[in-house]
Chain A
Amino acid sequence: MKQRRTIERLADEELMTLVQEGEPRALEVLYDRHGGAAYSLAHRIMGDRQTAEDVTQEAFVSIWRSGGRYDGSRGSVRSWVLAILRNRAIDALRRSAARAPRLDYDDDGALEAQASEERTDGEALRRERARVVRGALQELPQDQSQVLGLAYFGGFTHREISDLLDVPLGTIKGRMRLGLEKMRTSMDEAI
């Protein structure tokens, strides 16, 4: 069994190989690297800490069981982890009786509500990047950011969003595409 210090130096893709082989320390290191982002996404989708914890736990146990399904050709480990987390969260959201669209979530408010001692130096970069990205999202026209938010964070299908906003389905599809295109362009310009 590899020592934890050795494992900590491995790339994510190498960690996934160890997870497939049943090495729990590899999953532990993966959690240390991506658990914060996963928990943050879960909190954004679920809206409270307890269910965010439950969903994060579910997602990492699922990753342990399904490590063999990771395929590096389809994207980074982080993207895969967050996709699994999102699926679990949306699943939980849809199971819950009270599911309402959250059109005006205040991410900065969530930060303020957090105890200051929970903020570590190691998370500063993640937070700064999130602020930059959020700024790019805020530059999107409101109707585009709204449909992307309802789909990605609310788990609504494009038909449900069409019904919810009383806007033709074709318009919803168009807004979603335009929003992604603009975000992609913003990234290119930032680089």
Chain B
Amino acid sequence: MNIADEHSRWDEDLASYAVGALDTDETVAFAAHLATCDRCRGELHRLAPAVELLPASVEQLSPPPALRGRIMDAIAQERAAASGVPEQAPAPATTRSRRGASAPARARHGGSSGSQRTPLRERLRGWHVPVLPAALTAAGVAAAFAIGLVVGGGSSTPDRTTVPVVATADAGRAAVSGQLISDGGAWHLDVRQLPQPARGRVYQAWVMRDGRDVEPSTVFVLARDGSSTVAIPQSLGSGDQVLVTEEPAGGSPAPTARPLLSATV
């Protein structure tokens, strides 16, 4: 395949990417391509105003006045939880804390907290998906279940949450099992029977949030039996995804391969 044909393949998917209509693994691959392709970034930038017309086209309604108060109550609750001060505002029925890790746990694992958000952006500069990939979280759940295999169960107790790991079609027929676990607020990924990566290659975990950001996480290797327990230092919330790809030794600044495993919080 020559360079023109190769680029044509990405160009065909550009509009789907812009409106959030790619599968999870396609989105990861496209985002990685964007990081290296000025032409596609330029095209995406050119089409972005058209994509922005879509939400502007819906009939504009007035939100109920009480919604504003409920949101600010939820924020007050978040702030109280972060500062350790008992909350004053009652929690709305539909709100629950989704900060994955307690502040001490986040500090222990190097994750971000409310007052440490900017350094995260600095740390991830150049890794962001540029424009409106969208629906990654949502599409990821459905796509993973459509093309993959659930290889672990999920459950939740007050101090422990387990999320099933899904092997994508790219994981082949390996009898992988695994779970993403939050224990006392700190997240780790337990995998079993994952095939050893090729020589000179490693596995790398990634955190995907809100369909926009692909954050590098832990680079890891396997024990001889194909198992590994991998700390995920980031704080995870509902809808966030942890993905695993095979990468060159030392890890990569952006994914270079399609995900083999996926877990959606």
- Our pick among A39, A90, A183 for the contact of B67 (Cβ within 8 Å) is A39
Given the interface pairs A68-B117, A71-B128, A184-B47, the reply to whether A86 lies near B67 with Cβ below 8 Å is: no
Verify if B239 is at the interface (C-beta below 8 Å from A). Answer: yes
- Complex: A36 Cα to B120 Cα, angstroms: 29
The answer to whether B138 touches A41, judged by C-beta atoms less than 8 angstroms apart, is no
The answer to whether A53 touches B54, judged by C-beta atoms less than 8 angstroms apart, is no
The answer to whether B53 touches A65, judged by C-beta atoms less than 8 angstroms apart, is no
The answer to whether A152 touches B52, judged by C-beta atoms less than 8 angstroms apart, is no
Given the interface pairs A69-B212, A71-B121, the reply to whether A36 lies near B71 with Cβ below 8 Å is: no
Q: How far is the CB of B52 from chain A (nearest CB, A)?
A: 5
The answer to whether A36 touches B62, judged by C-beta atoms less than 8 angstroms apart, is yes
B: number of interface residues (CB 8 Å): 75
Tell me the dominant secondary structure on chain B's binding face: helix
The answer to whether A114 touches B61, judged by C-beta atoms less than 8 angstroms apart, is yes
The answer to whether A64 touches B112, judged by C-beta atoms less than 8 angstroms apart, is no
Which residues 18-51 of A sit at the B interface, judged by CB distance below 8 A? 20-22, 24, 27-28, 31-32, 35-37, 39-41, 43-44, 49
Interface segment, B16-24, B155-163, B164-172, B198-206?
Answer: B16-24
The answer to whether A94 touches B141, judged by C-beta atoms less than 8 angstroms apart, is yes
The answer to whether B94 touches A57, judged by C-beta atoms less than 8 angstroms apart, is yes
The answer to whether B71 touches A184, judged by C-beta atoms less than 8 angstroms apart, is no
- Complex: A11 Cα to B213 Cα, angstroms: 24
The answer to whether A75 touches B48, judged by C-beta atoms less than 8 angstroms apart, is yes
The answer to whether B16 touches A183, judged by C-beta atoms less than 8 angstroms apart, is no
Q: How far is the CB of B48 from chain A (nearest CB, A)?
A: 7
The answer to whether B210 touches A84, judged by C-beta atoms less than 8 angstroms apart, is yes
**Contact mask for chain A residues 73-92; partner B; CB cutoff 8 A; 1 contact, 0 none:** 01100011011101110110
Q: How far is the CB of B136 from chain A (nearest CB, A)?
A: 7
Verify if B50 is at the interface (C-beta below 8 Å from A). Answer: yes
The answer to whether B22 touches A158, judged by C-beta atoms less than 8 angstroms apart, is yes
The answer to whether B210 touches A87, judged by C-beta atoms less than 8 angstroms apart, is yes
The answer to whether A180 touches B60, judged by C-beta atoms less than 8 angstroms apart, is no
**Which residue of chain A has its CB nearest to the CB of B27?**
A157
Verify if B63 is at the interface (C-beta below 8 Å from A). Answer: yes
Which residues 110-130 of B sit at the A interface, judged by CB distance below 8 A? 112, 114-121, 128, 130
Q: How far is the CB of B49 from chain A (nearest CB, A)?
A: 6
Verify if A107 is at the interface (C-beta below 8 Å from B). Answer: yes
Verify if B173 is at the interface (C-beta below 8 Å from A). Answer: no
Verify if B33 is at the interface (C-beta below 8 Å from A). Answer: no
Which residues of chain A come closer than 8 Å to B99, judged between CB atoms?
65
Verify if B14 is at the interface (C-beta below 8 Å from A). Answer: yes
Given the interface pairs A24-B75, A68-B118, A79-B132, the reply to whether A184 lies near B59 with Cβ below 8 Å is: no
- Complex: A68 Cα to B18 Cα, angstroms: 23
Query: What bracket does the count of chain A residues touching chain B fall in?
Result: 35 or more
The listed residue with most A CB atoms (<10 A of its CB), out of B95, B121, B135, is B135
- Our pick among B48, B68, B138 for the contact of A93 (Cβ within 8 Å) is B138
- Complex: A95 Cα to B265 Cα, angstroms: 13
Q: How far is the CB of B130 from chain A (nearest CB, A)?
A: 6
The answer to whether B75 touches A114, judged by C-beta atoms less than 8 angstroms apart, is no
Which residues of chain A come closer than 8 Å to B67, judged between CB atoms?
35, 39, 53, 56-57
- Complex: A57 Cα to B74 Cα, angstroms: 8
The answer to whether B59 touches A130, judged by C-beta atoms less than 8 angstroms apart, is yes
Q: How far is the CB of B35 from chain A (nearest CB, A)?
A: 13
Which residues of chain B come closer than 8 Å to A158, judged between CB atoms?
16, 21-22
Verify if B46 is at the interface (C-beta below 8 Å from A). Answer: yes
Verify if B1 is at the interface (C-beta below 8 Å from A). Answer: no
Which residues of chain A come closer than 8 Å to B128, judged between CB atoms?
69, 71, 74
- Complex: A177 Cα to B238 Cα, angstroms: 32
The answer to whether B117 touches A108, judged by C-beta atoms less than 8 angstroms apart, is no
Enumerate 10 A-B pairs (CB-CB under 8 Å) in ascending A order.
A24-B79, A36-B61, A37-B56, A53-B67, A56-B67, A65-B237, A108-B59, A120-B62, A177-B14, A180-B19
Besides the contacts A24-B75, A35-B71, A157-B21, what 13 more A-B pairs have beta carbons closer than 8 Å? Answer: A37-B56, A44-B59, A53-B67, A53-B70, A57-B70, A57-B71, A57-B94, A60-B71, A74-B130, A91-B137, A152-B19, A176-B16, A176-B21
CB-CB nearest 4 A-B residue pairs: A68-B117, A107-B59, A151-B21, A39-B63
